[in-house]
Amino acid sequence: MNTREMFKRAIAGGYAIPAFNFNTMEQMQAIVMAAVETKSPVIMQVSKGARNYANATILRYMAEGAVAYAKELGCEHPEIVLHLDHGDSFELCKDCIDMGFSSVMIDGSSLPYEENIALAKKVVDYAHQFDVTVEAELGVLAGVEDEVSSAESHYTKPEEVIDFSTRTGCDSLAISIGTSHGAHKFTPEQCTLVNGVLVPPPLAFDILHEIEKKLPGFPIVLHGSSSVPMDEVNTINQFGGHLEAAIGIPEEQLREASKSAVCKINIDSDSRLAMTAAIRKHLAEHPGDFDPRQYLKPARENMKKMYIHKIVNVLGSNGKLAQ
């Protein structure tokens, strides 16, 4: 399904839909198990990097498999969106739409304003013929993730959002208010030390509220919203990893954002950390194991636990299926 009804209900209900990226079968299974167990709608996203890694055709059939799997797990009416994350060209978006994606993002945020509008409008005009919803982006997030990277962030300018959303016809808008891509969102120097923990600068809720005033009820999307849980980082480092100064967005701030017009929150790095932590721990404790199922099973379990935690304790989308 596309995101239209899902987002309307999320804004009215004061919660956000989780958008989890997937590249592997284990991630896909963990996402579906978590969504079914919590009765949550879910957006499964595929990046350009995921398409390069896993193959676009395979990912498309995995998403179809995800819907069938959710039904097999006992969910009669699963609500699953297959979404392209950070489409960087009309051709890529068109390819995904032609393949059966129900939602795409066109990310022209690095382009000059008028070019961003022209590109987004072109994708919207094509996508809407097939009832595919389109997310566009205004403002630039800092950080590195897959093929998306920027050294600095530029907050979304609230004075541009009405013009941008009207002229592009986009269905949702990704904004920049201080979130960031990847597991190294902030340097220790940008943070303050509170009770021995590095706390990053707060999200710009004033900008979010200004945007909400300009576009009442319009779906807003937050990218780069992993929390980078310290216990996973510590497990990785304890069992031979070396992750320095990994700092994410505090979950309380995401919970606060979920209650506003923010109705889609993207989480990718936390899944990577949960998977890597479980694999490192298993292999360190069972050096004789060489069957991938032996270490991918605990990895899948750990991701599922993380997804459930996000759904229930951060986004509040549990129990929100329409039927």
Which residues, at least 6 apart from 242, have a Cβ–Cβ distance to it below 8 Å?
Answer: none
Give residues in contact with Zn ion (CB under 5 A). Answer: 223
CB of 224 to Zn ion, least distance (A): 6
85 is catalytic: yes
Identify the active-site residue in 85, 107, 171, 268: 85
Q: Which residues contact 169 (CB under 8 A, 6 or more apart)?
A: 121, 124, 125, 128, 134
Q: Which is nearer to Zn ion, 144 or 283 (CB)?
A: 144
Count Cα atoms within 13 angstroms, Cβ side, for 164. 30
Residue closer to Zn ion by CB (options 176, 258) is 176
The residue (of 110 and 318) whose beta carbon lies closer to Zn ion is 110
Q: Whole-angstrom Cα distance, residue 290 to residue 297?
A: 13
CB of 264 to Zn ion, least distance (A): 11
- Residues 239-275 as b or e (16 or more Cβ within 10 Å = b): beeebeebbbbbbebbbebbebbbbbbbbbbbbbbbb
Task: Output the residue with the shortest Cβ distance to Zn ion.
Answer: 223
| Strand segments (E) across 90-152 | 103-106, 133-138, 142-145, 148-150
- Of 18, 41, 14, 43, the residue nearest 212 (C-alpha): 14
Closest approach of Zn ion to the CB of residue 146, in Å? 8
CB nearer to Zn ion: pick between 223 and 320: 223
Amino acid at 295: Y
CA–CA dist 227, 76 (Å, integer): 32
Closer residue to Zn ion, CB minimum distance, 33 or 221: 221
The residues assigned a catalytic role are: 85
